Chains A and B, each alone.
Chain A
Amino acid sequence: MWTWFHRLASPPFFFRLAERWAPWLGVAALVLLAWGWIGGLVFAPPDYQQKDAFRIIYVHVPAAAVSLSLYTLMALAGAVAVIWRMKLAECVLVATAPVGASMTVVALVTGMLWGKPMWGTYWVWDARLTSELVLLFLYLGVIGLYRAFDDPRAGARACALLAIVGVVNVPIVKYSVEWWNSLHQGSTIMKLGKPSIALEMAIPLYAAVAGTLLFCGYAILRRVQNELLWRERGTQWVRELRVGEPGR
Chain B
Amino acid sequence: MRAVQALLSRELRLALRAKTDWLMPPFFLLVVVTLFGLGGKAHDPALSVYAPAILWVASLLAALLTLERLFRPDYEDGTLEQLCLAPGPLYALVLAKFIAHWLLTGLPLVMLAAPLAVGLGLSGTAVPTLVAGLALGTPCLSALGGFVAALTVGLPRTGLLLPVLVLPLIVPVVIFGAGAVRAAQEGLDAQAPLYFLAAILVLSLSLVPGVASAALRNAFD
By a beta-carbon cutoff of 8 Å, the part of chain A in contact with chain B is 82, 134-135, 137-138, 140-141, 144-145, 148-149, 151, 153-154, 157-158, 161-162, 164-166, 168-169, 172-173, 175-177, 179-180
Contact = CB atoms under 8 A, between A and B. Distances in A.
Contact of A169 (B155, B161, B169, B192): B169
A145 B165 contact: yes
B85 interface: no
Given A134-B171, A140-B164, A141-B168, A158 B176 contact: no
B19 to A, nearest CB: 31
A175 B24 CA distance: 34
B121 interface: no
B63 to A, nearest CB: 18
Contacts of A149: 154-155
Given A148-B155, A165-B147, A173 B164 contact: no
Contact of A154 (B154, B157, B196, B211): B154
Interface in B72-131: none
B221 interface: yes
B167 interface: yes
A166 B168 contact: yes
Nearest to A153: B221
B9 interface: no
A138 B144 CA distance: 14
A176 B195 CA distance: 12
Q: Which 8 A-B pairs have the closest CB atoms?
A: A137-B168, A154-B221, A176-B172, A176-B175, A141-B165, A172-B172, A134-B168, A138-B168
Interface string B142-157: 0010011001101101
Given A141-B168, A164-B211, A177 B155 contact: no
Contacts of B148: 162
A75 B147 CA distance: 16
Contacts of A140: 164
Contacts of B158: 148
B207 interface: yes
Interface in B173-200: 175-176, 179, 192-193, 196, 200
A35 B207 CA distance: 45
Contacts of B221: 151, 153-154, 157
Contacts of B5: none
17 contacts: A137-B164, A141-B164, A157-B221, A158-B152, A161-B147, A161-B211, A161-B214, A161-B218, A162-B151, A162-B165, A165-B147, A165-B207, A169-B169, A173-B168, A177-B171, A179-B175, A179-B179
B53 to A, nearest CB: 12
A149 B155 CA distance: 7
Contacts of B144: 165
A162 B150 CA distance: 11
Nearest to A175: B172
Nearest to A170: B168
A82 B161 contact: no
Given A165-B208, A165-B211, 18 more contacts: A82-B214, A140-B164, A141-B161, A141-B164, A145-B152, A148-B155, A148-B161, A149-B154, A149-B155, A157-B218, A157-B221, A162-B148, A166-B168, A168-B203, A169-B168, A173-B172, A176-B171, A180-B179
B180 to A, nearest CB: 11
B153 to A, nearest CB: 10
B7 interface: no
A175 B173 CA distance: 12
B133 to A, nearest CB: 13
A180 B214 contact: no
Nearest to A169: B169
B15 interface: no
B165 to A, nearest CB: 4
